[in-house]
Structure 1
Amino acid sequence: MSTMTRTTRLLVTRRDPHTSAYAPVGELTHDPQAQTYAFTYRPEVTRGLPGLPLGETTVAPDLFPLFGQRIVSPRRADHDEALDLLALDPLAEPFEVLARSGGRSATDTLELTPMPEPGPLDLRFLVHGVRHLTEAERERIETLRPGQPLALRPEPTNPQDADAVLVTDDGHRLGYVPRPLLEYVRPAMERHHELTVERVNPPAAGFHMRLLVHLAGHLPA
């Protein structure tokens, strides 16, 4: 399991519960050397987030409470088990946990996704849309094993998003690439890349935690 990550930038998005469309809110960054966190809003945003003044870049030595509360506390008995579902070491840094989990919360529709830098791509993400699969397709996830090759397939006929990209196993649907990651995944698909199973979690973990995959390749500038 990994304990370190090169991810230093996370895109914070707000998902519309009715249309499932994602709207960028801002960027959460981490400077390991200065040991600081910063949050910057996108210029077009008019509705701010709790504890983060709109129109400002906020810097702090600790992770902002809005995001920190999305991480399982080390004091909880199920802490190690929760990180194991994400294929993370119990000592993983909070920023890495957010990058892997998406930071979903029952109290809002915010999600966080990594913003990879150009160059070698080493990206792990939870597959979206598992709840919308057929029963047979969800059962196929049960048969997957870590390291098993998967494939990415554009779905231009998707009625909700013509840019959608499917995660498939021998042509069978397993779910979708998270919408905020498409601007990184689509360019990587144009070059040599490998998509493999990182971890399959039991149904009790929830639809959004069922399948963790690993994409290796190259992200052009």
Structure 2
Amino acid sequence: MTHTLFLAWQEPKSRSWFPIGRLTFDGGQYKFVYINGAQDAQQEHGFQPLHSFPELTKEYTSVELFPLFANRLMRPSRPDYEAYVEWMNIPQHQDDPIAILSRNGGRKATDTFEMFPCPEPDAHGFYHIHFFSHGLRHLPECSVNRIGELQPNEQLYLANEFQNPYDSRALTLCTLDHHILGYCPRYLAADALDLLRENPKLIHVHAERVNPAPTPLQFRLLCNMTAEWPQDFRPFSGREYQPIALDSQLQANAIM
């Protein structure tokens, strides 16, 4: 089975997010390609290819995880590693690099990149997506306190902030008693919003794990989203997620 992660970049001034690359692992080899979102970021905000991957139209391969991504993992030798894996609720002995990057987003304080997985359906056609609530540092203390009161598997509700001046597709995570507990990650918002408009019963979000203070806020609330997507629907299948290398090859073949 091939696992897929996308790499997103945030432009510092506008704070706009762009998916720029795709990392895959088939159990023996890692591959990285740029996707069309990188060209969009380049045209709109001057995004430059990463030092590790200097050519936009090349496919990069390696039997070891590329340093750009390996540097986003905590060393297992660190004394707080077990607690770190526990925050993400990753089962014992399943803490491989792809699993960790899928949960922690590969975020670092020194850059504006984030990683997220491309979900695959289970045997019943349901997609299960784990994510940490975003934007907690912008919320009042009462919201953070309410997170600490969540019950195991308590249901959360998605609400669209369609008047949000920065992102009209923003989805807040709310409790039944109307506390806002952060935001659904932006990379999920577009697909989730389309499904909610079609049928609100297609998506369910639950609080899977609450990590108490002094756990950093970005790891405070782990959510589990279950989505029943139509058979003809594929997440992250838009043009911006398609590989540039593939597009270039198709164009070359057409010319020949």
Q: Deviations over 1:185-211 (max 9, x none)?
A: 224433422211111112322221111
Q: Deviations over 1:110-156 (max 9, x none)?
A: 10011224642100101101111111111111101221111111110
Matches within 5 A, 1:57-136: 57-91=59-93, 92-117=95-120, 119-136=125-142
More strand by proportion, 1 or 2?
Answer: 1
Partner of 2:161: 155
Aligned-residue CA RMSD in angstroms? 1.8
- In structure 1, C-alpha distance between the alignment counterparts of 2:14 and 2:180, rounded to whole Å: 22
Partner of 2:26: 31
CA contact (8 A) 2:136 2:181 kept: yes
- In structure 2, C-alpha distance between the alignment counterparts of 1:114 and 1:164, rounded to whole Å: 19
Structure-2 change in CA distance of 1:163 and 1:132 (3 Å): same
3-state DSSP class of the match of 2:30?
Answer: strand
Query: Identical aligned pairs, as a percentage?
Result: 34
3-state DSSP class of the match of 2:52?
Answer: coil
Q: TM-score, normalised by structure 2?
A: 0.78
3-state DSSP class of the match of 2:218?
Answer: helix
CA contact (8 A) 1:7 1:96 kept: no
- From 206, 210, 215, give the equivalent of 1:196: 206
Query: Within the alignment, does 1:174 sit opposite 2:181 as a pair?
Result: yes
Q: TM-score, normalised by structure 1?
A: 0.90
- From 35, 39, 42, give the equivalent of 1:42: 35
- In structure 2, C-alpha distance between the alignment counterparts of 1:188 and 1:37, rounded to whole Å: 32
CA contact (8 A) 1:7 1:116 kept: no
Shift >2 Å, 4+ stretches:
16-20, 116-119, 183-193
Higher alpha-carbon Rg: 2
